[in-house]
Structures are given as C-alpha cells and as structure tokens.
Amino acid sequence: MDSSVHLDNVVMNFGDFTAVQKTDLKIESGEFFSFLGPSGCGKTTILNMISGFLEPSKGVVKIGGKSMAGVPANKRPTSMIFQNLALFPLMTVAENIEFGLEVRGVSKAERKKTSDRLLELVALEGSGSKKPDELSGGQKQRIAIARALAVEPQVLLLDEPLSALDLKLRQHMRTELKEIQRKTGITFIYITHDQGEALTMSDRVAVMSAGKLQQVADPITLYREPQTSFVASFVGENNPITGVVDAIDGNLVTLNCGVLGKFTGRGIGTISKGQSATLFIRPELLKLGQTGDMSFTARIAEVNFEGSYLTLTALLNQQHAISVQIGAEQYTADLIPDAEIQLSFASQDAVVIAGEGNV
Amino acid sequence: MFKQLKARFGSSLSVGIIAIIGIWLIGMVILPQLIMVDYSFRPNLLPSEIGTDKDTYSLNNYETLFGNSIHLSIFAKTIWSSVLVTILTLVVSYPLAFYLAKVATPGQAALCILLLIIPFWINEILRTFSWYIILAYKGPLNALLLALGLIDRPVRFLSGDGGVMVGMVYAYILFMIFPIYNAIESLDSNQVKAARNLGAGWIRTHYRVIIPHAKPGIATGCIMTFMLAAGSYAVPALLGSPGSRWFTQIIYNWFFEGGDWNQGAAYAFLLLLICIGFIALVMRVFKVGLGDIAR
Amino acid sequence: MKSETIMRWGIRFYIGIFFIYLFIPLIIMGAATFNNSRFPTITPWKGATLKWFDALAQDGAMWTALWTSLVVAMGVLLVAVPIGICCALFLSTVQGRGKTFLYSLMMSPLLTPGVIVGISTLIFWKSLSVSGGIMLTVIAQTTFIAAYVMLMVLARLQRFDRTLENAALSLGASQWQTFTRVLLPYLKPAIISACAIAFLQSFENYNTTLFVKGYDTTLTVYIASKVRTGLTPAVNALGLIMISVTVLIAILYEWKRRQEAKRTVSSVQ
C-alpha cells in the first residue's frame, strides 16, 4: 500500500506570522522520517498539518497520493503519539488501546484480539486491566505506541514522545521504536529537537529552522555534508572559523581569517572570491601533530576526560576557542592547560559555507 | 466564537450549546429583568385598560416611594443595616479566614472547613429559626443572662433590628469566610515571614501584605453578603417585628397584599439598583474587576 | 515571642467561641424538639417527649409540601445542570472579544437578590399569561442555580488537558464520540457535585420561591409559615430530621471528595 506523505508546496500562516514557509517534500512509503529543529522552528506545525489538526494556508498535504484537503483529523489514515502521551486516564490500558477500534464499531472479541496482540508487541502482556497511572513512564510510552498502532494507520506521527523519559530509558526506547517500525513497515514521521534521536533512528532527517527546511538527507550525509551554516552547527559539534574567501582551487576554498591565519576546506554551494564565509571543522577530525595538510599551533585552556575520549579546549591566537576530541589512548602527561600544541586537519574534512556562520 | 465551538464539538452539539445558553440568557436572565423595568414605569391598570390611553410611561411609581416617608425610611434603614451587617460579618470572618489559611495545620484547617460547611448545607430558614428560639422573650439567652444576674428582666430581642442583624451575620457568614480564605490561602507564606522578619508588627503585616493580597476575596465576600442581606426576606420575616420591617417585605406587600405589581416592580428595581451600585462601589474601592469576583 | 504566644492563644480562643456560635443554635433547636412544651424552647425544660415527631407525621400539609419540594428540586436539576454544563463548555472553548461580557452576564444571577429573580420571573411570565406554581418555581430557581452549576463545571474544565481530545480524534473518534467518551467521563465528578448542590439549593430556597410559588407550597416555605403562625415543636422535629439528613449527605459528600482528592494525589506521585 502506498503510504507516502507529500507536502505539496505547503505554507502555514498564523495571521502575519509565517510558521512554515513554502515547503515541498515527499516522504516515502515505509520510511522513518524525522523533522529536527529547535523549538518554534515549525516542525510541530508540519505534524499538525499532516494529522489534520491544522489546514495549510496554501498547498495541500497528500497521503498515499490522495489529497487530504478538507479531510478532518479523525478521517485521515494517520495516528499520532503525543508529547505528553495523552493516555485516557479513566480508561484501562486495554480500553485505551481498543478505543480507536471501538469508535469504528469493531466487535468486542475482535478488539480484544488486537489489544492482546499489540500488548505482546510492546512486551506488556497481561497489563490490559491496569489504569495508565499504575504504569511506569516507559510502560506508558509503549501503551501510547500500541494505542496508535491499533487503528492500523498508514502513517504514524510522533511528537517528541521520548522527551519526558530519563536518558537511559530514552536510549532504550529509540531501539524499540526502530524495531517496531521495521516490524510494521508503517511510515513513521518523527518530530524532535534531540539530534541523537533523529540521527540514530531515521532513514532521512529534515533539519528545520525558522519555518524553513534547511536540508533533507540521510543522517550520515547530514553530518558529513551540511549544506547550510545552521545544519553545520546544529547537527553535531563543530568549530566555526570565519574569514574572507582568498582563493578557490577546484572544490577547495581558502579563507583568510586575519590574525588566525589561512585555512582551506571543501566549498559547499556557490562561493565567490572576496565574500565572507565560514569554515567548519569537527572536533574529532582535528588531530594532534602534523598529520593533515592544514596545521597550526594553539594553547590548551581546558582538558576534560570523558571516558573513551578527551575533549581539549584550545585557544587559537589567545582568543578563538577550538574544541578538539581525541581518543583516550592518545593522552599524554604534557596535555595540560597552558601547554602549546600542534593541531592539524585534512582540508577535505572541513567544509566552507558562504556567510558569517551566525545562526 | 461559533467557529471555535464547532471545531471542538462539531456543528450539531455546538448549535445545541448555543441554543440552550441562548434560551437561558434571553428567556430567564435578560428579558424578565427588562420586562420588570418596563412594568415599573407603567401604571397599575385593569386588564381591559391595557393598551388604552391610560397605558403611558411615567415616573409615578417611583414618586410614590419618595413621597412616602415610612417606606423611604425603611429603604434607607435596609441599606444602612445591610452595610452594617456586611462590616460586622467581615470583622468576624477575617481572623477566622486568616487562621484557616495561614496558621492552622492542614489537618486542623480541613476539620474546621468541614465544620463550617455543615451549617452551610442546612436550610437558611432553619438556621434563622434556631435564632428565633434563642432570642425569644422566654428563651435560653434571656434565661442565661437572668441567671448570671446581668439583667433584671427579660429583653425583647425580637422587636428591633438587632435580632435581624444577628441572624443575618449568622446566615451569611460563610459567603464571607470562603472567598477571603481562598484569597489568603493563595498568598505565599514566605511573604508573611519576610514582612515579620523585616520588623513589621502583626497589624502592619496584615495591613500592608495580607489585606492587599486578599482584596478580591474581601470584595467578593462583601458583595455577596450585602446582596444577600439587602435582598433577604426570610430573616426579617422570622426575626423581625412589625416595627422593624425590611424593604423586601414592603415589596412583597405590594405584590401580594396591595395588589399593585407595577408599584412593586419599581421598588424591586430600586433594590436592584442599590445592589448594582454597591457592587460598583466595592469594585472601585478595592480596585478589582468583575473577572476577579466569584472565582 | 511573647506577643506571638498571646496572639496564638487569642486566636484559638476566638476559634472556640466562633464554633460555639456556629453550632449552639442548631443544638438548641434540636434539643427543643424533645421538650414536652407547647412552644419550641428549652427553657423551662418540661421533660422529654417524642410526641412532636408523631405530630409531624400526622401533618398532611407537610407531606404535600415535601413532595412539592422534591418535584421542584428534580425539575431544577434536570433543567439547570444541562444549562450550566453548556455555559461551562462554551466559556472554556471560546476566546476573544465579548467573552468577558458573556461571563459577566452568566454570573449576574448570582449577584442579583433572590427576591428580584423571583419578581422578574413572575412579571415576565404573567405577560405570557402563566401564573405562579411549580413550573414557575422551577424556572425562577433555574435562573440562578444554573450559574452555580456553571462555576463548578468550569472549575474542573479548566484543569482538562485538551490533547486528550486531539488524541481521540487522531484515533478516528468523531467529535461526538470524543465528547461522550473522553470529556464527559472527565467531568462526571463535577457534574455529580453540581447535581447535589443544585438539588440542595433548590430544596432550601425561600426568597425566590416565595414570589413564584403560586398556590403550591414547598417545604421551606411551609416551615417559614409555621414559624410565624401556629408554631409548635413539630417544626423542630422537621428541622432536626432535615439537619440530620443534610449533615449525613454533607459528610458523605466531603468524604467522597477527599477520597477522590487522595486518589488524584497518589496517582500524580
């Protein structure tokens, strides 16, 4: 069955405020797709347009190729998992799960079969007669998933459902969600501001900022090939260095960063000589010593031991802080504050994006 | 507004909601009041005379009151006594509301509130009747005072306004205590401690910190008490004597003894105006809005 | 510290006096029932008797009045509670201009003296050629009791999590199903309380009823008329029974409410 979701040139305005700028995006059938962005970026608005709680100001939402214009939330082949889960507190767990079938007039025996099967899927057999309040946070989470799956939606919408859980449980639930998605083959559309969640679970991620899609790509591409300064600094850690374009040689762009020196990296998009641009280099791609073609010296300001790796904060020319991540095995006794170190990176590992890099 | 309602409840339920509210507001709240006011400006006519030349608007019904010195003095007394009842009730209620909200432990407060609620559930007539027994000429209060030697012969408590006012304070005290209690309870106890810590005495702490915070509650309590007192028929009827009539009793007489409803409507409208005026005055004095009242 | 101690004892003394003031009248009234005297009093005490309960049971007019009161209270319950619920639903849903005005209008019957509610209802319906009686009593009492119901239901609605409604819609429920399966069950405790309050308010109403009762007499009106004419301790017997019943209901209601509150607290934790 085609359960793709197409945002066909969708715009959402609230009065004068544009919550979502013109967006054209196709989410494939059976895909685990995430919208990632800070709060207020418009991602929840997109989810509400897909679920039918909001009608777009312009454009249409298509599910399975069919236009959803004028179709209310309760008639769409979607179901939603809410941030606060929104389990019905006065109903038992089984009644919660069966609710969607009950309102469709499915027989009691049939409903019972479904709720038993789903309770098994989420590993909570025998909890059907409990009230939601008697369950732990993780268990409630799974009931919310089971309830949403009971109506056999083509598309499952998840609105930051893990944000209320503690760290350990959150990481565990990521694996479980991914597993459930694989088993059911339903299209999952996931909203989060937590990049860890988006990167670990998703087939593709759309990064959003200020109502605008910044980049849509699989997690690895997003991490390695950020297309905008926003993506470069929002996804993962990154060290920005801003300068003026000095030279362009094939895909390599050299920036003159004044007192900090000159740095070269891969240019992204259109960049012309003389304009200001920012080079981004990831902490783990900076090496101690002179292994890469870009090398410079810096003074250590801080050393933080984090278990399998170390984070060094180093000052370039006494002023520009740079974060460096090295394996714990590379630790030596002379890595102490105020020590002078040699750092380098391969210019192919750094990216240069037009603009000041402020986000 | 209908759009918001429809988005939540669907069109048929929304139409039902609007229709029911409309019937209530128009048919029971607004129209009866308007018709009453309209009535008060018309003369009292025989059914056959309605619609004829005699059926004209005039201020005659209002002039009757201002021309009748007995009615006028009862009107003034009712207002004045209701203000006194309100002040008396406030003075009695405030310490108790403060105790419940800030001094008592949660357990004590819960018990006290239960004890307060019980009389509240009991019929106003019965509560007033119990005072009728106590204040009777040969009743227990006179017996007690005689036994203590404080008086030489029984006092006629039920022949003046005093008995009526005591009964009213008793009957309406809970309408004063609960709003004030709710208001004081929402005050952060640390503010009281801070004021005390800064060297403010008890009186100053109440005057500067607690009372300003409790203003909406005090306003609500005063409005309710005044309205209930000025509009009470039961208490003066039971505890009063012919010499201490209440304005509501005059209104009643116009309707069911004098048979002049138009005249009665004018008196009733004046009573309503006094209550509205009192509400406006209290809201101005306490600087609270209608939204703060009766939360 | 010294003044604080005095304050503390002072306030305790005050509370003591206050509760005596609150309960003594009711106790005296109850006690007078059992006094073998022709008038309701405890002084002088003429020996204990139960004959006034008998006298009460023989009083046919009292039984008629009780029946009238019950009919009126049920009528008010059936009319005022739906109106109050509708108002609360309306106020919790709509936003924007005019809402404050409508709220004030809905509150106004509570700030209007009861006699005026009665008078205006009487006059209004007379112009439609309807005169006083059970029906007008129900209508007049509904005018202000609906506002009480509105306040009680609104208080609970304000704590309602509206994502629950979205969850139901998202699972395919119609708006009607969402209302009956999600919102109404949530409001049930408030609606039950509102029913109890509406019933009681109607049952004990005097000021409004007096004007619209016509030739029908409710129990409260009957008691009042007895106090003024033909007073015997049978009235006390009736009062004692009514007090006992209301106290029982009040305690039951409070107890249930606290159980509910306890359950909510424990489930939050």
Strands A78-81 and A155-159: what pairing? parallel
pLDDT at residue A143 is higher than 70: yes
From B159's Cα to the closest Cα of chain C, the distance in A is 14
Please list every residue in chain B whose beta carbon sits closer than 8 Å to the beta carbon of residue C250. Answer: 117-118, 121
Average pLDDT taken over every residue of chain C = 88
**Structure confidence at residue B259 (pLDDT):** 85
Share of chain A above pLDDT 70, in %: 99
What is the domain count for chain C?
Answer: 2
| Residue among B92, B122, B237 whose CB faces C246 most closely | B122
Helices and strands (DSSP H and E) totals, chain C = 12, 0
**Structure confidence at residue C269 (pLDDT):** 43
Contact C117, C49 (CB under 8 A): no
C80 and C213, same domain (yes or no): yes
Question: Buried b / exposed e across B233-265, counting CB within 10 Å, b at 16+?
Answer: bbbbbbbbeeebbbbbbbbbbbbeeeebbbbbb
A349 and A267, same domain (yes or no): yes
pLDDT at residue C228 is higher than 70: yes
Share of chain C above pLDDT 90, in %: 51
Interface A:C, Cβ pairs < 8 A: 65
> Could you tell me the CA-to-CA distances from B176 to B209, B220, C101 in Å, in that order?
20, 8, 25
Q: What is the CATH number of the domain that holds C176?
A: 1.10.3720.10
From A234's Cα to the closest Cα of chain C, the distance in A is 30
What is the domain count for chain A?
Answer: 2
Is the Cβ of B279 closer than 8 Å to some Cβ of chain C? yes
Is the Cβ of C7 closer than 8 Å to some Cβ of chain B? yes
Q: Which two tokens stand for residue C128?
A: 């439609």
pLDDT at residue C260 is higher than 80: no
> Could you tell me the CA-to-CA distances from A305 to A211, A309, A338, C99, C253 in Å, in that order?
38, 7, 17, 60, 62
**Structure confidence at residue B127 (pLDDT):** 85
A218 and A100, same domain (yes or no): yes
**Structure confidence at residue B295 (pLDDT):** 46
Residue A359 belongs to some domain of the structure? no
User: What is the span of the domain harbouring residue C184?
Assistant: 60-218
Spatial separation of the C-alpha atoms in residues A99 and A122, rounded to whole Å = 17
Residue C187 belongs to some domain of the structure? yes
C166 and C74, same domain (yes or no): yes
Q: Dihedrals φ, ψ of A245, to 5°?
A: -65, 125
Contact A159, A190 (CB under 8 A): no
- What is the dotted CATH code of the domain comprising B65-292? 1.10.3720.10
Q: Which two tokens stand for residue B110?
A: 């819960």
CA-based nearest residue in chain C for residue A83: C163
Best B26, B44, B100, B133 member to test C by mutation, with max C CBs in 10 Å, is B133
Give the model confidence (pLDDT) of B279-292 as tens digits: 999 988 888 876 66
Which pTM does this prediction carry?
0.86
pLDDT at residue C12 is higher than 70: yes
Contact C198, C186 (CB under 8 A): no
A115 and A262, same domain (yes or no): no
**Structure confidence at residue C268 (pLDDT):** 47
Give the model confidence (pLDDT) of B192-228 as tens digits: 778 777 777 777 888 888 888 888 899 999 999 999 9
Spatial separation of the C-alpha atoms in residues C223 and C227, rounded to whole Å = 6
A37 and A155, same domain (yes or no): yes
A313 and A168, same domain (yes or no): no
DSSP category for residue B206:
I
Give the type of residue at B158: L
Average pLDDT taken over every residue of chain A = 91
Min mean pLDDT across A112-116, A282-286, A316-320, B231-235 is at A316-320
Residue C12 belongs to some domain of the structure? no
pLDDT at residue A335 is higher than 90: no
A193 and A339, same domain (yes or no): no
Q: Is A104 in Cβ contact with C170 (below 8 Å)?
A: no
Is the Cβ of A126 closer than 8 Å to some Cβ of chain C? no
C88 and C169, same domain (yes or no): yes
**Structure confidence at residue B243 (pLDDT):** 77
Please list every residue in chain B whose beta carbon sits closer than 8 Å to the beta carbon of residue C236. Answer: 133
Write out residues 133-192 of C within 8 Å (CB-CB) of B: 139, 142-143, 146, 151, 165, 174-176, 179
Give the model confidence (pLDDT) of B61-77 as tens digits: 898 888 888 999 999 99
Spatial separation of the C-alpha atoms in residues B80 and B77, rounded to whole Å = 5
C116 and C142, same domain (yes or no): yes
Contact A232, A358 (CB under 8 A): no
Burial of A79 (0-12, 13-18, 19+ CB in 10 A): buried
DSSP assignment string, C11-38: HHHHHHHHHHHHHHHHHHHHHHTTB-SS
C154 and C210, same domain (yes or no): yes
This complex has an ipTM of 0.87
Is the Cβ of C23 closer than 8 Å to some Cβ of chain B? yes
Q: Domain segments of chain B: what residues?
A: 65-292
Min mean pLDDT across A110-124, A137-151, A268-282, B135-149 is at B135-149
Contact A281, A308 (CB under 8 A): no
**Structure confidence at residue C244 (pLDDT):** 87
Question: Buried b / exposed e across A294-329, counting CB within 10 Å, b at 16+?
Answer: bebebebeebeeeeebbbbbbebeeebebbbbbeee
A214 and A252, same domain (yes or no): no
Residue A235 belongs to some domain of the structure? no
| Residue among A75, A86, A133 whose CB faces C167 most closely | A86
SS3 content of chain A, % helix, strand, coil (to 5): 30, 35, 35
Spatial separation of the C-alpha atoms in residues C119 and C128, rounded to whole Å = 15
C111 and C180, same domain (yes or no): yes
Helices and strands (DSSP H and E) totals, chain A = 8, 20
Average pLDDT of span C246-257: 79
| Residue among C200, C228, C258 whose CB faces B121 most closely | C200
Question: Which chains are within 8 Å of B by 3+ CB pairs?
Answer: C
A196 and A334, same domain (yes or no): no
| Residue among C161, C172, C185 whose CB faces A104 most closely | C172
pLDDT at residue B98 is higher than 70: yes
